[in-house]
Amino acid sequence: MSDVKFVVCHECDLLCREVSLKVGEAACCPRCGAKLFHHNRSTLDQTLALAITTAVLFSIMNTFPLMALHLQQNTRETSLFGAALAMWDRDMPVLCLLVILTTIAAPALQIGIELYILLNIKWGKHPQTTSLPMIVLQKLRPWSMVEVFMLGLLVSLVKLKDLADIIVGPAFWSCAGLIVVSAIMGSMLTPRHVWMWSQERKSHAHL
Ligand SMILES: [Zn+2]
């Protein structure tokens, strides 16, 4: 097998010869200028550790109360899911479903798939069977909008200060942490890295 590797531009399909990069550098397509890949030091173990961190932060975010709703005389503390259900009770079913989809269901599925891919490459019997989960992950990422929700939360903190307060506690800080960690995950768990890690695993298995 030749040592020369090729990479296809995902924008214009130009076949480019792969070049070796220094850490922090990126390779761009010579025809259309699209970024082909960048080099960072992320390893499978680091990415797996980060994926476990997102799972822990996500669990904390959904367990502890995130909001205090003021209802007449009393105040009720509620988690993210509880807040979404409160919207259902106030005849806002579309908003309720949208919040559940973008801040609970999609991130949960995303974290689950990320863990599945990484654990499968690390210890699975068939480390190559990650293409379908990877495609699903790429489609799912735009629907997972914890950061958009966080922004909405901060706006509502100012706008609705008579109706609800944000509880700056474990759930709030996990949400903030989750935004940062998910952004880093997005740059580490790329199809190219997944391909490289599975190839490494395969070559180790044949030694
Ligand atoms: Zn191109």
Under 8 Å between Cβ of 189 and 117: yes
* Distance between Cα 163 and ligand 1 center (Å): 51
Phi-psi category of residue 16: left, alpha or beta, with phi > 0 → left and psi -120 to 50 → alpha? beta
Q: What pLDDT does 54 receive?
A: 94
Q: Which residue has the higher pLDDT, 171 or 71?
A: 171
* Distance between Cα 30 and ligand 1 center (Å): 7
* Distance between Cα 169 and ligand 1 center (Å): 46
Q: Where are the domains of the chain?
A: 1-39, 42-206
* Distance between Cα 136 and ligand 1 center (Å): 24
Q: How far is CA 69 from the centre of its chain?
A: 29
Under 8 Å between Cβ of 65 and 167: yes
Q: What pLDDT does 160 receive?
A: 62
> What pLDDT digit, counting tens, does each position of 172-204 carry?
899 889 889 988 888 888 888 888 888 888 777
pLDDT at 135 over 90: no
DSSP codes joined into one string, 10-51 = TTT--EEE-----TT-EEE-TTT--EEEE-----HHHHHHHH
> What pLDDT digit, counting tens, does each position of 103-120 carry?
888 889 999 999 999 999
d(CA 143, CA 106): 6
> What pLDDT digit, counting tens, does each position of 118-132 carry?
999 888 877 777 888
* Distance between Cα 10 and ligand 1 center (Å): 7
Residues 84-101 have a mean pLDDT of 83
Closest by CA to 189, choosing from 10, 81, 47, 92, is 47
pTM higher than the cut 0.85:
no
Under 8 Å between Cβ of 156 and 18: no
* Distance between Cα 34 and ligand 1 center (Å): 5
Q: What pLDDT does 1 receive?
A: 47
* Distance between Cα 24 and ligand 1 center (Å): 20
Angle value at C-alpha 104, between 100 and 107, nearest 5 degrees = 135
* Distance between Cα 16 and ligand 1 center (Å): 9
